[in-house]
């Protein structure tokens, strides 16, 4: 097994991070894994939105948005996804040393890469929609409001078949990983997520979902 806590591994993991972006008119969606990304990405594709390279985004013209989980919630859900994808559930539940190891690793893959690793200073320009603690209907409602205020035409219809909710097995794993990560304070992990946590708190503090227009809702207002 590679040393996933080494600086070299973290560097190589970062180098594999790619940004998936879709454009519909002047609106650009950035796909953040574990942030309801399958549902929204697949719906936007079905609507005919086209891929756009990150370097081709015009930050002065395009309205660039993404959904955002609490960074600590995203970490345990992303870690659980990584364990499941690599068929390491048995090792996680039965090997205390491996559990301890998991709790110390800052990043495994794109599912756990921080927002700042993916976007850098562009994080402050993204029109984030925080989704932790919100039900799916509220999340789609907020997304519709942004789209409507930025030029989407006609009725918005979501295909719920594109949703990829966690099954019972994955939910059990997510909770176990959450508890594992909460048992001990890991300085390296929190240093890695520090900027994300600061950003998330700032977004939530300035985001007002009670308003009727996106210009009043957005944390960028």
Q: pLDDT tens for residues 107-160? A: 888 888 999 999 999 999 999 999 999 999 999 999 999 999 987 655 577 887
Average pLDDT value for residue range 184-196: 85
For residue 39, what are its two tokens?
């549902």
Question: Beta-carbon neighbour count of residue 170 at 10 Å?
Answer: 16
Measured CA to CA, the distance from residue 79 to residue 143 in angstroms comes to: 26
At residue 189, does pLDDT exceed 60? yes
At residue 59, does pLDDT exceed 90? yes
Angle formed at CA 126 by CA 160 and CA 182, multiple of 5 degrees: 75
At residue 165, does pLDDT exceed 90? no
Average pLDDT value for residue range 212-219: 96
Q: Between 56 and 4, whose confidence is greater? A: 56
> Average pLDDT of the chain?
87
Of 59, 1, 50, 3, residue with least CA distance to 24: 50
> Which pLDDT score, from 0 to 100, does residue 90 have?
92
> Which pLDDT score, from 0 to 100, does residue 153 have?
57
> Which pLDDT score, from 0 to 100, does residue 8 have?
47
At residue 62, does pLDDT exceed 70? yes
pLDDT band at 17 (very low <50, low <70, confident <90, very high): low
Percent of the chain with pLDDT over 70: 87
At residue 206, does pLDDT exceed 60? yes
Of 206, 194, 60, 207, residue with least CA distance to 117: 194
At residue 1, does pLDDT exceed 50? no
């Amino acid at each position: 097994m590679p040393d996933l806590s080494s600086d070299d591994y973290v560097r190589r993991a970062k180098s594999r991070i790619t940004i998936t972006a879709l454009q519909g008119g002047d609106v650009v969606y950035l796909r953040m894994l574990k942030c309801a990304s399958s549902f929204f990405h697949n719906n936007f594709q079905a609507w005919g939105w086209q891929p756009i390279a990150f370097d081709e985004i015009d930050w002065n013209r395009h309205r660039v948005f993404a959904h955002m989980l609490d960074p600590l919630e995203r970490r345990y859900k992303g870690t659980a996804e990584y364990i499941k994808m690599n068929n390491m559930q048995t090792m996680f539940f039965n090997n205390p040393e491996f559990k301890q190891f998991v709790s110390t690793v800052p990043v495994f893959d794109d599912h756990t890469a921080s927002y700042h690793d993916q976007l850098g200073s562009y994080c402050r320009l993204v029109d984030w929609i925080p989704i932790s603690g919100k039900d799916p209907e509220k999340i789609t409602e907020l997304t519709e409001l942004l789209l409507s205020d930025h030029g989407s035409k006609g009725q918005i219809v979501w295909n719920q078949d594109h949703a990829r909710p966690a099954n019972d097995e994955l939910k059990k794993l997510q909770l176990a990983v959450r508890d594992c990560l909460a048992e001990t304070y890991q300085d390296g992990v929190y240093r890695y997520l520090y900027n994300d946590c600061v950003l998330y708190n700032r977004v939530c503090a300035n985001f007002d979902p009670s308003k009727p227009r996106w210009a009043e809702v957005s944390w960028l207002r």
